Amino acid sequence: MEKILNFLNNLRLNNNREWFEDHKKEYKEALELFNEFTLKLISGISSFDPSVKNLTLKDCTYRIYRDVRFSHDKSPYKTHMGAFVCPKGKGSGYSGYYFHIEAKGSEYI
């Protein structure tokens, strides 16, 4: 998790496309670690909640790119990573289990 937090903390301080492109390798490493954790999380939850047994990473994780069309904050990237494990995936409307890791000082609501 330390590598993920380091990346997110640096991204919070440099939330622009140029910096992100220059540090894409770090992003991919952090994302890979987060994805590995999420797969373990899905597996662990499915041991007591079989309704989430066949979920994939795509079913549970979110993109790092922000939708800035209607936002006053035009920062292009989220400074957090999250996973929502619930029956039929994050868009299903079911309740579930949420895990979130964010940069120090983020204003995620």
Q: What does the H/E/C string look like for 42-77?
A: HHHHHCCCHHHCCCCHHHHECCCECCCCCCCCCCCE
Can you give the pLDDT at residue 26? 97
Which pTM was predicted?
A: 0.90
Can you give the pLDDT at residue 107? 66
Can you give the pLDDT at residue 103? 87
Question: With a cut of 70, which residues of the chain have pLDDT below it?
Answer: 106-109
In whole angstroms, what is the distance from residue 63 CA to residue 44 CA? 23
Can you give the pLDDT at residue 1? 86
